[in-house]
A = this chain, B = another copy of it.
Amino acid sequence: MKQINVQVGFLGLGNIGGGVWRLLKQMRAEIEARESIKFTIKRVLVRDLYKRRSVNVPNDILTARVQDILDDPEITLVVEALGGEQPAADYIKRALEAGKSVVTANKLALATHWLELLETANHRGVGLFFEAGVCGAIPIIRTVTDSLQANRIERLFGIINGTTNYILSEMSAKDATYADALFEAQRLGLAEPDPTADVEGGDAACKLAILSTLAFHAHVPLSGIFKRGITTITPLDVSYGRELGYALKLLAVSKRVGDRIQARVHPTFVPLTHPLSAVSGSFNAVYLYGHASGELMLYGRGAGDYPTASAVVSDMIAAARGRQGPAYRMTSDVTMDDDWESRYFIRLSAVDRPGVLGAIASILGRHGVSIASMRQNTMGLDHAPLMFVTHAARERDVRASLTEIGENLATIENVIYVEDMKEGE
């Protein structure tokens, strides 16, 4: 095999950029020997030229001007590791327009500028790779695009945010409150000082938009994804769910039903018998069903400098070989479905007076929401804790009945989706 020499420009040298730098340096000999590819990092864009860094990068390749990379014709591959929507998305686009392939770990820039960036890459015939943007070291992008081409992927479930999975695992293992578990996650560096993007589901929604678009061959926009975070989850929800045979996960769900697609991120009860229920701590996993492959699950480290760098370098190798990255052909038109069917766990504090239970049941019944099981703890309080799990019901009907119930019969403490992960559901 003839050796391929590639000159690379880095955008950013933080946690991810630094990890890629170190991994490339560490594995240089192996990559040259096995893959016949020699990467030379010619330029690195940083914000502050004089900051002390944990990686030992020669000063003369640092630059604070992005043009030094975008305008350099010798640089044919750009690794974007800035994070954030802008200016990253703009730089990616300009690099593609300049005929350079781009490898990025930036799910936000990608999910928000998907059509524009893919179109630019296709138009210029250059590669755009983003394995590291979705679940770190887990090769889920490559699996969907390079291994499942002969499949109709019908549904996909993911634990694709490690921070929230860590928090929910802690709440489950230690009966901790959300606040305590979040604090512990922050202390360990698993959650940001401002944890909003993780705990409200925004990060997972970006990944789900990308995954669903590739899996369904139809553009699933970020704006079409329903999301709810984990901030209202209490230890009670977790422990009641466990008694019923479920683990609580922030689950990303997408399903294709005919020409309609559902895509949503929300706290979800998953059966303890399902492999996803065993994915704990900061691990990620994606479980999908292809009509030919059957059930498939990938599990691993969704974040961290080296796991992310592992995926970035694999993309750099694909780019160096002249590949174009995940082919993106919208072969089908879809409508986003915002009135799906699901089972629901509903926790209420009912007013403690005769006939309330019957009144609640009758409201649910009138809206076509049927109760699969119920638990009531009567302890002589003003408000009696009450829990239902429903049979499959339409979102709209559940909302309407809860609005009615909430008026004067009960306080709605929490509503959590229950996903039985059954075929055809």
B-side contacts of A283, CB under 8 Å:
295
Which of B142, B150, B294 contacts A27, CB < 8 Å? Answer: B150
Which of B290, B292, B299 contacts A297, CB < 8 Å? Answer: B299
Residue of B nearest to A277 (CB): B278
Which of B34, B150, B307 contacts A217, CB < 8 Å? Answer: B34
Q: Tell me the residues in window 270-305 of chain A with beta carbons closer than 8 Å to chain B beta carbons.
A: 275, 278-279, 283, 290-301, 304
Q: Tell me the residues in window 1-26 of chain A with beta carbons closer than 8 Å to chain B beta carbons.
A: 1, 23-24
Copy number in the complex reads 2
Which of B147, B291, B304 contacts A294, CB < 8 Å? Answer: B304
Q: Does the CB pair A327–B34 fall under 8 Å? A: yes
Which of B139, B275, B294 contacts A143, CB < 8 Å? Answer: B139
Given contacts A293-B310, A294-B137, contact A35 B327 (CB under 8 A): yes
Smallest beta-carbon distance A292→chain B, Å: 4
Query: What separation, in Å, do the CA atoms of A24 and B142 have in the docked complex?
Result: 21
Which of B30, B142, B292, B313 contacts A23, CB < 8 Å? Answer: B292
Which of B152, B292, B331 contacts A137, CB < 8 Å? Answer: B292
Smallest beta-carbon distance A235→chain B, Å: 22
Smallest beta-carbon distance A245→chain B, Å: 15
B-side contacts of A138, CB under 8 Å:
296
Which of B34, B292, B331 contacts A33, CB < 8 Å? Answer: B331
Q: Does the CB pair B31–A150 fall under 8 Å? A: yes
Q: Does the CB pair B294–A146 fall under 8 Å? A: no
In the complex, whether A240 has a CB less than 8 A from a CB of chain B is no
Which of B35, B275, B306 contacts A292, CB < 8 Å? Answer: B306
Smallest beta-carbon distance A99→chain B, Å: 18
Residues 110-138 of chain A, each 1 if its beta carbon lies under 8 Å from chain B, else 0? 00000000000000000000010000011
Q: Does the CB pair B295–A150 fall under 8 Å? A: no
B-side contacts of A377, CB under 8 Å:
none
Residue of B nearest to A290 (CB): B310
In the complex, whether A186 has a CB less than 8 A from a CB of chain B is no
Residues 34-63 of chain A, each 1 if its beta carbon lies under 8 Å from chain B, else 0? 110000000000000000000000000000
Smallest beta-carbon distance A193→chain B, Å: 25
Which of B34, B147, B300, B331 contacts A311, CB < 8 Å? Answer: B147
In the complex, whether A260 has a CB less than 8 A from a CB of chain B is no
Q: Tell me the residues in window 142-191 of chain A with beta carbons closer than 8 Å to chain B beta carbons.
A: 142-143, 146-152
Residue of B nearest to A315 (CB): B147
Given contacts A137-B292, A137-B294, A331-B30, contact A314 B146 (CB under 8 A): yes
Smallest beta-carbon distance A321→chain B, Å: 9
In the complex, whether A317 has a CB less than 8 A from a CB of chain B is yes
Query: What separation, in Å, do the CA atoms of A67 and B231 have in the docked complex?
Result: 67
Which of B131, B139, B147 contacts A131, CB < 8 Å? Answer: B147
Q: Does the CB pair A329–B34 fall under 8 Å? A: yes
In the complex, whether A369 has a CB less than 8 A from a CB of chain B is no
B-side contacts of A309, CB under 8 Å:
150, 292
Residue of B nearest to A33 (CB): B331
In the complex, whether A318 has a CB less than 8 A from a CB of chain B is yes
Q: Does the CB pair B327–A137 fall under 8 Å? A: no
B-side contacts of A151, CB under 8 Å:
27, 310
B-side contacts of A300, CB under 8 Å:
293-297
B-side contacts of A331, CB under 8 Å:
30, 33-34
Nearest 3 interchain pairs by C-beta? A137-B293, A150-B313, A139-B147
Beyond known contacts A131-B147, A275-B275, A294-B307: 10 more, CB 8 A cutoff: A27-B151, A33-B331, A137-B294, A139-B148, A142-B142, A151-B310, A293-B307, A293-B310, A295-B301, A299-B299
Could you jot down 30 A-B contacts, CB within 8 Å? A27-B150, A27-B151, A27-B292, A30-B152, A31-B150, A33-B329, A33-B331, A34-B149, A34-B329, A137-B296, A138-B296, A139-B139, A139-B147, A142-B142, A146-B318, A147-B310, A147-B311, A148-B314, A150-B310, A150-B314, A151-B310, A292-B307, A292-B310, A293-B300, A293-B311, A294-B300, A294-B301, A295-B300, A296-B299, A298-B299
